[in-house]
Amino acid sequence: MINAKIIKTFWDKLESQSKPPKYVKKISIIEFDKIKNSINSKNEFIIKNLAKRMYDGEAFILRNAAKKNLKKTIIDLAKYYDKKQKPSFHKMLDGTPNFHRIIDKKITKKYSLYAIKHSYFFYNWNVKTKLEKKLKSGVYRHWRYVKFLAGNNKFQYEKNIPSQNQIDRLQIVNYPHGGGELRDHVDPRKNQRIVSGLIMSKKGVDFEKGGFYFRDKNKKKLNIENNLEIGDSVIFYGSIVHGVEPVDKNKKLNWNSYKGRWFIGMFVNDSNHVKNRTTAKDLTNSTNFKKKAS
Ligand SMILES: [Fe+2]
């Protein structure tokens, strides 16, 4: 009978045998329900096969990981928080409130990773309103399975508070027209080997240019946005270099428009109770990746 421990042991073995992937090798599309059913029916072969392929550099687009109407929920939440409170920042300590922050060219210097975005941060101890409940259930119907695939328990960390060191955090992100972006980086694998995020806008409708990319073996950007639909999730091993190319750079940047590219990130973070926290690593200045003129 397969359980979280068996998957974790399998990952540990993979990780001890070879180096983690740096570049994306292949991108495959699967219905989320297929993965969900394989996990629910405890199909050890399929789960181990997915882990192996991911560690080998394959990324997966999981179709219909979320309902398409989750998009309305997140934009309503963004509007609600914009009205309710000014942009602010709070460390991940016990009792931390939800907050939102406009990360522009100036603010982004405070972060280890260069990004131009408006982010809204949500913690499970603050789930109170109907909208927040909708966000949580809309994300976790998918995230619990990704956690399992990554060698964790389906419910691991979900109820944690910062003083327990690792906490779940949801982030609604708007990459606005006029150059919303996220530069080359890798994510920490310490708490969750697999990175996942829900796609909440459509290229050609919500924006024309830019969007999510991986680096391939020639270090070229492989933009996959044309293959993404609202409600898809993209999952991959966190050591693969990825980012978001500037969204409709030619347009005027307007932080109040609610236009552009929307995304929900979900991550198990080290809280600020942890000394020497692991955070995302920016590769913009790495010798491997020449900074593109921006
Ligand atoms: Fe990332």
Task: Kindly report, residue by residue over 107-160, the tens digit of the pLDDT.
Answer: 999 998 999 999 999 999 999 999 999 999 999 999 999 999 999 999 999 999
**Ligand 1 centre distance from Cα of residue 130 (Å):** 28
pLDDT of residue 293: 34
pLDDT tier at 285, thresholds 50, 70, 90: low
Q: Using an 8 Å Cβ cutoff, are 196 and 233 in contact?
A: yes
Residue 248 has pLDDT above 90, yes or no: yes
Provide the mean pLDDT of the chain.
95
Residue 288 has pLDDT above 70, yes or no: no
**Ligand 1 centre distance from Cα of residue 175 (Å):** 14
* Percent of all residues in the chain with a pLDDT value above 70, rounded to a whole number: 96
pLDDT tier at 15, thresholds 50, 70, 90: very high
Dihedrals phi, psi of 64, to nearest 5 degrees: 60, 45
**Ligand 1 centre distance from Cα of residue 184 (Å):** 8
**Ligand 1 centre distance from Cα of residue 164 (Å):** 23
Question: Per DSSP, which regions of 148-280 are E strands?
Answer: 166-175, 180-186, 194-199, 211-215, 221-223, 233-237, 242-247, 261-270
**Ligand 1 centre distance from Cα of residue 1 (Å):** 33
**Ligand 1 centre distance from Cα of residue 41 (Å):** 30
**Ligand 1 centre distance from Cα of residue 224 (Å):** 15
**Over residues 265-277, mean pLDDT:** 93
**Ligand 1 centre distance from Cα of residue 197 (Å):** 9
pLDDT digit string, tens, across residues 46-61 = 999 999 999 999 999 9
Q: Is 175 helix (H, G, I), strand (E, B) or coil?
A: strand
pLDDT of residue 113: 93
Cα 191–Cα 193–Cα 196 angle in degrees, nearest 5: 100
pTM, rounded to two decimals: 0.94
